[in-house]
Chains A and B, each alone.
Chain A
Amino acid sequence: MSAYAMPEMYFNIDHGYLEGLVRGFKGGILKQADYLNLVQCESLDDLKLHLQSTDYGNFLANEPSPLTVSVIDDKLKEKLVIEFQHLRNHCLEPLATFLDYITYSYMIDNIILLITGTLHQRPINELIPKCHPLGSFEQMEAIHIAATPAELYNAVLVDTPLAPYFIDCISEQDLDEMNIEIIRNTLYKAYLEDFYSFCSELGGATAEVMCDALAFEADRRAFIITINSFGTELTKDDRAKLYPRCGKLNPYGLTQLGRADDYDQVRAVADIYGEYKELFEGSGTNPGDKTLEDRFFDREVQLMKNSFMQQFQMGTFYSYVKLKEQENRNIVWIAECVAQRHRAKIDSYIPIF
């Protein structure tokens, strides 16, 4: 499959029905009016009642009361998983590979969770329910047979779709010595760059939408890694190896970030780039300011909403998953505030539509 010049003519043959379906799903994402109803709830049962009138319907109908926030979280995730699996089961290539790429980020989280759990001698059946169902793979049950990460790689991980990400960046002795978080970030970097080159190979409108979205994701990770590494023992060289190179910060921004020592220097790097300058400007740690993470989420939601403006491209599927994730986070945030009766910050969810 190469970059066809006019995707409008060919896209609907294979993917037209699923695009129509995913746009229908997107129409069911909660609007501002629904959020206003939700923040006025007094209890979790109220919340359940309000969610019944939205696209969620009776998804909490079979749960025994009293409801807890973790039950709501699980059921929200389950709804997203059911819709995603439906899309994945009905699609043709290359959309099937595209949807698989979306699941790899959840797979990375699952693998890191399982490795950490195994290293702390947790039984495997305690860990499996904690894994995200979108990122499940066949060898998940077999992870506990390995004693060290290197053995784990040779026996189990080499058959998963994530094997190429291990090969390029982590050698066997690295797996044993490296901190688990560094492994996670190295894998994620390899995954993001691979996804980026897959999308640019697809070409056309998909490449336009997805490359922008993935570039933003890469830059966001670079900033967050840098800020979180102040005060830890992560050396600057190691930190520079974790930055994904497919964003707008590459190469000058990344070299400068690699040398940054504190928050103000990071901010100085962001000031060079127009869109990141305004993200850093409005943020801060004073009460009433939005945090930097919230500004990043805002910008991500903006990018994802814009991708629905183009038809005949696969970015709508990626955006749908991201927006649904954001909606789940919002509902869980509101549910936590309601359950704990601490309504001071109940309005700091990220509005979507």
Chain B
Amino acid sequence: MADVDYQPSKPSSKLSGVSLYPVYAVVYVLALSAILVIAFYYMLTGKGARFDFGWFLESTSPFMWASIGIGLSISLSVVGAAWGIFTTGVSILGGGVKAPRIKTKNLISIIFCEAVAIYGIIMAIVIANQLGTYDPLTASETVIRDSHYAGFQMFAAGLTVGLSNIACGISVGIVGSGAALADAQNASLFVKLLIIEIFATAIGLFGIIVAILQITGVKMGTD
């Protein structure tokens, strides 16, 4: 590497912006000191047993977990799809100026990215169909236990499909961008790169399969 030998003695004369690291450092220090103060307060005043994760899980409402799961499923998937579309879309536009023939073929990459958002919305609808209500004062223990279980499962399913769709969208976008630019130079490369993209979309499919496995069989509420 060339820059191992030469250490520039001064920064460049045209500053490329202000560094964000002081902001990150301040936020990190504040968060860390808040957590430490709270933890030491509980520990040193003899109330350590009150820091109870199990109590937290039992007393929060399963409806909250389920609804957050539905929200995460659609919103994170949309983030992944958007990331992929902008990454590949601008490359298609740039490459299409000097090689107009790539315009139509490369829309396949955009369709693959869009499919990621569709997985998210399907999961959101499937999860939302499982929602049900119960009266916490009169319901039986089984119903309450099943509903808590269902709430956690819905949250996990939404998170699963959301995070895997972010990864899928990003990777389809980057591969699609390379495919567009390679296609502009040499038309025979496109089909090979499409095979790589198909593998990239498969990971989104894995996410939705696991999420469906998580969501089958849950029973929330009395209806």
Residues of A whose CB lies within 8 Å of any CB of B are: 1-2, 8-9, 12-13, 16-25, 27-28, 93-94, 97, 100-101, 161, 164-165, 193-198, 200-202, 207-208, 211-212, 214-215, 245-248, 250-251, 311
Contacts and interface: CB of A to CB of B under 8 A. Distances in A.
Interface residues on B, range: 35 or more
B185 interface: yes
Contacts of B47: none
Closest 7 CB pairs of A and B: A20-B94, A24-B98, A16-B90, A197-B8, A198-B12, A215-B2, A164-B13
Given A16-B177, A97-B14, A194-B13, A200 B94 contact: no
B30 to A, nearest CB: 21
B97 A93 contact: no
The prevalent SS among residues of B at the interface is helix
A9 B170 contact: yes
Given A22-B94, A23-B184, A194-B14, 17 more contacts: A1-B16, A9-B83, A12-B87, A12-B91, A16-B90, A16-B177, A24-B95, A25-B98, A94-B16, A193-B8, A201-B12, A201-B16, A211-B1, A247-B2, A250-B5, A250-B6, A251-B5
A23 B16 contact: no
A347 to B, nearest CB: 27
Given A93-B17, A311-B177, A20 B83 contact: no
A25 B97 CA distance: 9
Contacts of A100: 14
The prevalent SS among residues of A at the interface is helix
Contacts of B8: 193, 196-197, 200, 246
B92 interface: yes
Interface in B169-194: 170, 174, 177-178, 180-181, 184-185
A101 B14 contact: yes
A245 B7 CA distance: 9
B50 interface: no
Centre residue among A21, A23, A200 by max chain B CB count within 10 A: A23
B11 to A, nearest CB: 6
B177 A27 contact: no
A24 B178 contact: no
A307 to B, nearest CB: 13
Given A93-B16, A97-B16, A24 B94 contact: yes
Contacts of B184: 20, 23-24, 27
B181 A311 contact: yes
A23 B12 contact: no
B11 A23 contact: no
A27 B5 contact: no
Given A202-B16, A211-B3, A212-B2, A28 B86 contact: no
A63 to B, nearest CB: 25
Contacts of A215: 2, 6
Interface string B71-96: 00000000000010011001111111
A248 B2 CA distance: 6
B107 interface: no
A12 B177 contact: yes
Given A2-B21, A27-B99, A212-B2, A17 B94 contact: yes
Contact of A20 (B10, B92, B174): B92
A257 B91 CA distance: 46
A37 to B, nearest CB: 21
B20 interface: yes
Contacts of A311: 177-178, 181
